[in-house]
Amino acid sequence: MANVTVIGAQWGDEGKGKIVDWLASRADAVVRFQGGHNAGHTLVIDGTTYKLSLLPSGIVSGTLSVIGNGVVLDPWALKSEIEKIEGQGVKVTADNLAVADNCPLILPIHRDLDGLREAAAGSGKIGTTGRGIGPAYEDKVGRRAIRVCDLAHLGALEPQLDRLCAHHDALRAGFDQPPVDREALLQELREIADFVLQYAQPVWKRLKKVRKAGAKILFEGAQGVLLDIDHGTYPFVTSSNTVSGTAAAGSGLGPNATGYVLGIVKAYTTRVGSGPFPTELGDEIGKGLGERGHEFGTVTGRQRRVGWFDAVIVRQSCAISGVTGIALTKIDVLDGLDEVKICTGYRLRGQVFDHFPSHAADQAAVEPIYETMEGWKESTAGARSFADLPANAVKYIQRVQELIETPVALVSTSPERDDTILMRDPFMD
């Protein structure tokens, strides 16, 4: 049986939470390997909605859930999220949650800096969630980070604080802000330390043991490939690598452990925040898709921008991330339309492109080339077999997989876990 790595193949918000939860019920461990609490996953199980930002989706089903070293961890957000889902009846203990002891921490000063920068950026705003993700990754790479393991050695933290504050004090001065209050920061860390440390461990070692026992591991990515720091629509991207290859570095297991790569793809396209979006719809059709799809960010509540399916960017994402098969979600949102469109290429200054160019100005200037297909009036909501789908919906799915050059493994027909059509089993492939 294969391990499975799940990544978003668009700009995030593709419905990874439901798919990961469905797969987690058949896995022995679920691992978050990048991002922070800027990622939002919504799970609907037996009518109960769970909104997760930091915790792996497997936590709801009781599966061993691991926060890997590639994640930047806000310890206060972790505590808040655990308390919230425990209030919904989910039990979280050191037996079913493990946090990498070498995870970098997101600190209050990171949130401060994130907000100050966005407020001062004017037309250069990137549209971050303001949760300190980017500044925390900067400190990690700049070797200034305070990590989970440091919470057990706060009395020896002075040299690290010197490096950290020398950097942040200079930045804060540029925004007319006072220096970092070191004692207040230390006190906040003292107060949260024991809570976080109860889950802390070298997770690479635990995962090695799980793998050696022949258990199935599910690697859960956050955001989407088009928000990847290298391969996304730079600079309107997140601060980590979101591609499948990050699962190895972000968990402490080698690349041969990541297994089947499942790309989550929405049957249309959405995006939150700033940045290019070739197929964006500003008309009543776009408004209708957004309303039927409940297109609001899980974390920020921001309304998502909505557009037709873009086969060019999905094909590119699948190639970059080595996607084995896709899970097509929210097909039911397209129900009732007279026609549906798929972007098959771009025009840019008289030339036809079969890929998304790298420069932001070119990305903003491309014009989509559409293929129009007949829609379907019948409902796909709740379908659990391919035979239950309308003929035109089947044609749409088949055309999507032709254009993205990647087979469809799963089709999701509602937010409910069991409303899923299985065409290829990632754990058995």
Residue 160 Cα to chain centre, angstroms: 30
| Spatial contact of 198 and 99, defined as CB atoms under 8 Å apart | no
Q: State yes or no: pLDDT of 198 exceeds 80.
A: yes
pLDDT in tens, 412-424: 998 887 889 998 8
Exactly one of 13, 101, 112, 150 is catalytic; name it.
13
pLDDT in tens, 44-60: 777 788 888 899 988 98
pLDDT in tens, 16-26: 878 888 888 88
Mean pLDDT of 365-383: 96
In 3-state terms, what secondary structure has residue 2?
Answer: coil
Q: State yes or no: pLDDT of 402 exceeds 90.
A: yes
Q: State yes or no: pLDDT of 372 exceeds 90.
A: yes
Active site residue 169: no
Q: State yes or no: pLDDT of 95 exceeds 60.
A: yes
pLDDT in tens, 239-274: 999 999 999 999 999 898 999 999 999 999 999 888
Active site residue 41: yes
| Spatial contact of 203 and 245, defined as CB atoms under 8 Å apart | no
pTM beyond 0.85: the answer is yes
| Distance in angstroms (rounded) separating the CA atoms of residues 331 and 265 | 10
With CA atoms as reference, report the closest residue to 342 among 256, 261, 416, 279.
279
First to last CA, the chain: 7
Exactly one of 21, 28, 37, 41 is catalytic; name it.
41
Q: State yes or no: pLDDT of 207 exceeds 60.
A: yes
